[in-house]
Amino acid sequence: MPGGTYTLLVAMPERTTITVGALGDHVFEPGWYAYTGSAFGTGGFTRIERHRAVAAGENDTRHWHIDYLLGHAETTVAAVARTAEADIECAVADALPRQPVPEFGASDCNCESHLAFAPDRERLWRAIRGAHRAFAP
């Protein structure tokens, strides 16, 4: 399966504190979160199905920061944007709105964070789609 860059649109309906691995405890406000990652390994975009399984409570393994957010019972993956065969992860993450958790998903780069937040779903989804279009080859 092909790989590339993806962004998950994640719903968080209520304020909650989640321990995000070594990043510690963080308060997540109700609203919408965008996590941008890359999937260039063996399975390519099948990584997205793994994220969906974590969000559905079907996988309890925590490898990445996003697993801690998705593992919370209240979160759901509402939508996914993908750009095949393009390594634009950092550019997309940097183009999105306010980033609430420093270093989230960015332990292997120099980005501030790969997690963005907006209270409004449509505003964030438009930003996600726009960033993927802007940086696609």
Domain count, the chain: 1
Give 50-101 pLDDT, tens digit per residue.
999 999 999 999 989 999 999 999 999 999 999 999 999 999 999 999 888 9
pLDDT of 1 above 80: no
DSSP state of 108: T
Alpha-helical regions (H) of the chain: 46-55, 65-70, 89-95, 121-135
What's the pTM value of the predicted model, to 2 decimals?
Answer: 0.95
Percent of the chain with pLDDT over 90: 91
- pLDDT, position 98: 85
Predicted confidence at residue 71, as pLDDT, reads 97
Percent of the chain with pLDDT over 70: 100
pLDDT of residue 99: 86
pLDDT of residue 97: 93
Instruction: Place 2 in a pLDDT band, splitting at 50, 70 and 90.
Output: confident
Coil, helix or strand at residue 128 = helix
Instruction: Return left, alpha or beta for 103; rule: phi > 0 is left, psi -120 to 50 is alpha, else beta.
Output: left
- The predicted-structure confidence for 14-25, as pLDDT tens digits, reads as follows 999 999 999 999
Range of the domain at 89: 4-135
Structure tokens at 76: 């759901």
Q: For residues 106 and 43, what is the distance between their CA atoms, to the nearest angstrom? A: 21
